[in-house]
Amino acid sequence: LAKTTQPISMDSYEGQEVNITCSHNNIATNDYITWYQQFPSQGPRFIIQGYKTKVTNEVASLFIPADRKSSTLSLPRVSLSDTAVYYCLVGSYGQNFVFGPGTRLSVLP
Protein backbone atom coordinates (compact mmCIF):
# COMPACT_ATOMS: atom_id res chain seq x y z
CA LEU A 1 0.00 0.00 0.00
CA ALA A 2 1.35 3.39 -0.97
CA LYS A 3 2.30 5.59 1.96
CA THR A 4 1.20 9.19 1.94
CA THR A 5 2.69 12.28 3.55
CA GLN A 6 0.78 15.50 4.08
CA PRO A 7 1.12 18.49 6.39
CA ILE A 8 -0.14 17.86 9.90
CA SER A 9 -1.99 21.15 10.11
CA MET A 10 -2.85 24.29 8.16
CA ASP A 11 -4.52 27.56 9.00
CA SER A 12 -6.51 29.69 6.62
CA TYR A 13 -9.01 32.53 6.65
CA GLU A 14 -12.53 32.56 5.39
CA GLY A 15 -12.81 33.23 1.68
CA GLN A 16 -9.29 32.10 0.85
CA GLU A 17 -8.32 29.23 -1.40
CA VAL A 18 -6.65 26.36 0.43
CA ASN A 19 -4.27 23.93 -1.22
CA ILE A 20 -3.23 20.77 0.61
CA THR A 21 -0.46 18.78 -1.00
CA CYS A 22 0.07 15.08 -0.46
CA SER A 23 3.16 13.06 -1.39
CA HIS A 24 2.83 9.45 -2.48
CA ASN A 25 6.16 8.49 -4.02
CA ASN A 26 5.47 4.76 -4.30
CA ILE A 27 2.03 4.97 -5.89
CA ALA A 28 1.25 1.92 -8.00
CA THR A 29 -0.10 1.88 -11.54
CA ASN A 30 -3.56 0.75 -10.45
CA ASP A 31 -3.83 3.18 -7.55
CA TYR A 32 -6.27 6.05 -7.41
CA ILE A 33 -5.92 9.10 -5.19
CA THR A 34 -8.87 9.84 -2.95
CA TRP A 35 -9.45 12.63 -0.49
CA TYR A 36 -11.78 12.45 2.48
CA GLN A 37 -12.96 15.04 4.98
CA GLN A 38 -13.70 14.20 8.59
CA PHE A 39 -15.47 16.28 11.21
CA PRO A 40 -15.21 15.37 14.90
CA SER A 41 -17.30 12.32 15.85
CA GLN A 42 -18.29 11.64 12.26
CA GLY A 43 -17.14 9.17 9.66
CA PRO A 44 -14.95 10.37 6.79
CA ARG A 45 -16.82 11.92 3.89
CA PHE A 46 -15.70 11.48 0.29
CA ILE A 47 -14.52 14.69 -1.35
CA ILE A 48 -12.88 13.82 -4.64
CA GLN A 49 -10.98 11.11 -6.46
CA GLY A 50 -8.63 11.12 -9.40
CA TYR A 51 -6.08 9.11 -11.33
CA LYS A 52 -4.16 11.73 -13.26
CA THR A 53 -4.29 15.36 -14.45
CA LYS A 54 -7.09 17.43 -12.98
CA VAL A 55 -10.46 16.57 -11.55
CA THR A 56 -13.05 19.09 -10.43
CA ASN A 57 -16.39 18.72 -8.73
CA GLU A 58 -18.74 21.06 -6.93
CA VAL A 59 -16.65 21.24 -3.77
CA ALA A 60 -13.01 20.82 -4.74
CA SER A 61 -10.37 20.32 -7.39
CA LEU A 62 -7.65 17.72 -7.45
CA PHE A 63 -4.42 18.33 -9.31
CA ILE A 64 -2.20 15.37 -10.13
CA PRO A 65 1.10 15.84 -12.00
CA ALA A 66 2.20 13.48 -14.71
CA ASP A 67 4.45 11.41 -12.44
CA ARG A 68 1.55 10.98 -9.96
CA LYS A 69 3.96 11.11 -7.02
CA SER A 70 1.99 13.89 -5.43
CA SER A 71 -1.43 15.47 -5.55
CA THR A 72 -2.96 18.74 -4.41
CA LEU A 73 -6.46 19.18 -3.07
CA SER A 74 -7.75 22.67 -3.72
CA LEU A 75 -10.66 24.09 -1.74
CA PRO A 76 -11.91 27.36 -3.21
CA ARG A 77 -13.10 30.11 -0.86
CA VAL A 78 -13.16 28.15 2.37
CA SER A 79 -15.65 28.89 5.13
CA LEU A 80 -15.62 28.17 8.85
CA SER A 81 -17.52 24.95 8.18
CA ASP A 82 -14.56 23.60 6.21
CA THR A 83 -12.59 23.26 9.44
CA ALA A 84 -11.90 19.53 9.55
CA VAL A 85 -9.27 16.86 9.05
CA TYR A 86 -8.48 16.02 5.44
CA TYR A 87 -7.07 12.65 4.50
CA CYS A 88 -5.21 11.79 1.31
CA LEU A 89 -5.48 8.09 0.53
CA VAL A 90 -3.96 6.02 -2.22
CA GLY A 91 -5.11 2.60 -3.30
CA SER A 92 -6.85 0.54 -5.93
CA TYR A 93 -10.49 -0.49 -5.90
CA GLY A 94 -11.25 -3.12 -3.33
CA GLN A 95 -8.22 -2.32 -1.23
CA ASN A 96 -8.42 -1.14 2.32
CA PHE A 97 -7.11 2.33 3.01
CA VAL A 98 -4.25 2.99 5.38
CA PHE A 99 -4.98 6.28 7.03
CA GLY A 100 -2.16 8.64 7.87
CA PRO A 101 -2.61 11.42 10.41
CA GLY A 102 -4.28 13.67 7.85
CA THR A 103 -4.16 17.45 7.67
CA ARG A 104 -6.03 19.39 10.32
CA LEU A 105 -7.36 22.50 8.59
CA SER A 106 -8.46 25.39 10.74
CA VAL A 107 -10.41 28.14 9.02
CA LEU A 108 -10.36 31.38 10.95
CA PRO A 109 -12.85 34.25 10.66
Q: Which residues of 51-79 are buried (b: 16+ CB within 10 A; e: fewer)?
A: eeeebeeeebbbbbeeebebbbbbbeebe
Q: Does 101 bind another protein (CB under 8 A)?
A: yes
CB atoms under 10 Å from CB of 89, counted, come to 24
Q: Does 109 bind another protein (CB under 8 A)?
A: no
Q: Which amino acid is at 59?
A: V
| Interface region with another protein, contact rule CB under 8 A, candidates 20-28, 42-50, 59-67, 73-81 | 42-50
Q: Does 36 bind another protein (CB under 8 A)?
A: yes
Helices (H), the chain: none
Q: Does 41 bind another protein (CB under 8 A)?
A: yes
Q: Which is nearer to another protein, 13 or 46 (CB)?
A: 46
Query: Which stretches of the chain bind another protein, using CB under 8 A?
Result: 32, 34, 36, 41-46, 49, 87, 93-94, 96-102
